[in-house]
Chains A and B, each alone.
Chain A
Amino acid sequence: MVALAHKPAVWPEKLAGVSLAVRNIDHGFTLHGDYLPVLEDVSFQVEPGEFVALLGPSGCGKSTLLRLVAGLDRPRRGSLTVDGAEVTGPDPSRVVVFQDPTLYPWRTVWRNASLGLEARGLLKQQRGRVDEALALVGLDKFAKAFPHQLSGGMAQRASLARALVNDPTLLILDEPLGKLDSLTRLTMQGELTRLWQRRGFTVLMVTHDVEEALLLSNRVIVFSDRPARLRADLAVDLSYPRHRDHPELLRLRREALGLLGLAGDW
């Protein structure tokens, strides 16, 4: 926070986000009777309005960490606090966008986006928010379409709208662009940073794409292979929109790849 304070261009216009404290988290699964450690003594702090990327090799436990932050699972040991309050279960202020859009096939795009409001009984008063969110992701013309009629990028946009309708203070992104084609991916990356800068929520994003992490986030936290431990915490002090050929970005990219054990290959 202190290191970034002198670079206001990096931060959102207004700060609506929460802070997140992850302290000494241990977690694992029991597989065929054996305990399989997934996270080992993971600690870090995310400031309000910060965009933090979690980078690590595939299957290292990043997504498990996100599920803990979302409150879908409880950690074996350690504590997770959002604005000082312990995370005990899922909450619509902490919305997850999963790698798969997981839209409900029996609902139209509009009814998928309105899911959170409907679940909390707020739909009648706040119908306009659904239209707003769909317009924000450019899907207002597809409100009546069913998910199977959408392309991959559109489906992922719809799932983003479904999250945004709830006005999240912490947006949890689990490789949200992982399954998109490279062109759609580039546009969505731009859209994501613009959204974040306008709304000012805190973002925690898992990715295994080094470039994506560096293009989008203020900070990149690099994890080791399973069991995941903190390897490094890289600050990305560059203003948006970022250019992928920026020398500082290239330097950080080399550093991150080196931390992931790929330095020799690049």
Chain B
Amino acid sequence: MTTIAEAAPGRVGALRAGDDGRPHSLGLLGVAGLLWLALAALILVWPDAQDVERTRALGLLAAGLGVGQLAVWAGRWFSPRLARLGRFAPWLVVLALWLAAWEAATAKLDLLPLPFFPSPQAFVEVYTDDWRRLGDSLLASLWLLVRGFAIGAAIGFAIGVALGWSKRAGYWIHPIMRVIGPLPATAWLPLAFFVFPTSGSASTFLIALATAFPVTVLTWSGVAGVPTAYYDVARTLGATQRFLILKVAIPAALPHVFVGLFMGLGSSFAVLVVAEMLGVKSGLGWYLQWAQGWAAYANMYGALLVMALMCSTLITLLFRLRDRLLAWQKGLVKW
């Protein structure tokens, strides 16, 4: 008799992956491992048509990844944790095929024009030969971003709470927010670089500004939207103003605050890159600009990848923080 699992293996396999940790795509992981080994052979055996270095390093890297996938495939019976890695198999197959095509079209057959389309080897070369400068740039960007974001988030949160809580604060701050808030932070760039003593402090200011606006607006609407019944309850139980703000208004507004933080983080990325490209003499934005000046496109792509990883890691960290603080929402909203 044909079971549902046999009739629709893909679907049921995907469903089952979470249950017993032994997804159907594990077989595919073996295929992926073999494909990566084949890719390694293609890189190492086929002579380069382009004048590239690091072919050996790239080939060994592909071989190592292939062996690793085969090891996971073989070890799946011993460890459910390893078996769970099977879900990456389809991606690994596609990546191997794509890398093979890329390698063939660039280094091996020289079909795509240089320097705009560097080979995978050139990519590897960026990380093996220029990792120090790239690492410094990453640290510089991270430090600038974290500093600006933290300042902006703190100030935005404080202003948002004040706006939501106090009529007088609303009277004075609201018009300023209405006029200046929607202005993109980058519009302040020329002024900021002129007013602030260093380009670093100017960029910190701009990033803080870009972060503060969405955080302020969302915190404000969050605090203003707290049901008055919540305050009535706390007041009849003897709550002070301080308690009402810290233990009622802020926790109730927190889901909104996080929306603001996510928006603020997004716009802070944009301002970071622009500021680094236009004024700051360090960081990934500066590296991009510098690489482009030397027509070092491989370096540019390499820096873009690092930047993408940095941004997605920061977003992930913020998600983790939200999941910790707002765990109570899990049963209330679609998570």
On A, residues with C-beta under 8 Å from B are 70-72, 90-92, 94-96, 98, 100, 102, 104-107, 115-116, 118-120, 146, 148-149, 162, 166
- Provide the B246-258 mask, 1 if CB < 8 A to any CB of A, else 0: 0110011010000
Q: Which of B233, B247, B332 neighbours the largest number of chain A CB atoms within 10 Å of its CB?
A: B233
Interface positions, chain B 106-132, Cβ under 8 Å from A, are none
Given the known A-B contacts A106-B328, A149-B331, are A90 and B252 also in contact in the complex, defined by CB atoms under 8 Å?
no
Given the known A-B contacts A105-B328, A148-B331, are A92 and B236 also in contact in the complex, defined by CB atoms under 8 Å?
yes
Chain B: residues with Cβ within 8 Å of the partner, total of 23
Bound CA span A104–B250, Å: 12
B230:A90 contact, CB within 8 angstroms: no
A95:B237 contact, CB within 8 angstroms: yes
B239:A104 contact, CB within 8 angstroms: no
B332:A148 contact, CB within 8 angstroms: yes
18 contacts between A and B (CB under 8 A): A70-B236, A72-B232, A72-B235, A91-B236, A92-B237, A92-B238, A96-B236, A102-B227, A102-B230, A106-B252, A106-B254, A106-B326, A118-B247, A119-B238, A119-B243, A148-B331, A162-B233, A162-B237
Q: Which of A71, A104, A107 neighbours the largest number of chain B CB atoms within 10 Å of its CB?
A: A104
Interface positions, chain B 191-245, Cβ under 8 Å from A, are 227, 229-230, 232-240, 243
User: Shortest distance in angstroms between A114's beta carbon and chain B's nearest beta carbon?
Assistant: 10
Bound CA span A105–B238, Å: 20
User: Shortest distance in angstroms between B118's beta carbon and chain A's nearest beta carbon?
Assistant: 51
B233:A119 contact, CB within 8 angstroms: no
Chain A residues in 8 Å Cβ range of B328: 105-107, 146
Chain B residues in 8 Å Cβ range of A102: 227, 229-230, 232-233
Q: Which of B234, B236, B326 neighbours the largest number of chain A CB atoms within 10 Å of its CB?
A: B236
A90:B235 contact, CB within 8 angstroms: yes
B251:A115 contact, CB within 8 angstroms: no
A95:B251 contact, CB within 8 angstroms: no
Bound CA span A102–B251, Å: 15
A115:B331 contact, CB within 8 angstroms: no
User: Shortest distance in angstroms between A128's beta carbon and chain B's nearest beta carbon?
Assistant: 18
A95:B331 contact, CB within 8 angstroms: no
A116:B229 contact, CB within 8 angstroms: no
Chain A residues in 8 Å Cβ range of B233: 96, 98, 102, 115, 162
Bound CA span A173–B227, Å: 20
B230:A95 contact, CB within 8 angstroms: no
A104:B229 contact, CB within 8 angstroms: no
User: Shortest distance in angstroms between A83's beta carbon and chain B's nearest beta carbon?
Assistant: 18
Chain B residues in 8 Å Cβ range of A95: 236-237
Q: Which of B235, B238, B243, B248 meets A104, CB within 8 Å?
A: B248
User: Shortest distance in angstroms between A136's beta carbon and chain B's nearest beta carbon?
Assistant: 17
Given the known A-B contacts A105-B332, A146-B331, A149-B331, are A119 and B239 also in contact in the complex, defined by CB atoms under 8 Å?
yes
Bound CA span A166–B326, Å: 28
Q: Which of B238, B239, B251 neighbours the largest number of chain A CB atoms within 10 Å of its CB?
A: B238
Bound CA span A96–B231, Å: 12
Q: Which of B227, B235, B238, B326 meets A120, CB within 8 Å?
A: B238
Query: Other CB < 8 Å A-B pairs besides A105-B329, A119-B247, 10 of them?
Result: A72-B235, A92-B238, A104-B252, A105-B328, A106-B252, A106-B329, A115-B237, A115-B239, A116-B238, A119-B239
Given the known A-B contacts A106-B254, A106-B328, A146-B331, are A72 and B236 also in contact in the complex, defined by CB atoms under 8 Å?
yes
Q: Which of B232, B247, B252 meets A96, CB within 8 Å?
A: B232
B230:A104 contact, CB within 8 angstroms: yes
Bound CA span A115–B230, Å: 11
Bound CA span A146–B332, Å: 10
User: Shortest distance in angstroms between A74's beta carbon and chain B's nearest beta carbon?
Assistant: 13
Bound CA span A72–B328, Å: 29
Chain B residues in 8 Å Cβ range of A107: 251, 328
User: Shortest distance in angstroms between B334's beta carbon and chain A's nearest beta carbon?
Assistant: 13
Bound CA span A70–B251, Å: 25
Chain B residues in 8 Å Cβ range of A106: 251-252, 254, 326, 328-329
Bound CA span A226–B254, Å: 40
User: Shortest distance in angstroms between A130's beta carbon and chain B's nearest beta carbon?
Assistant: 13
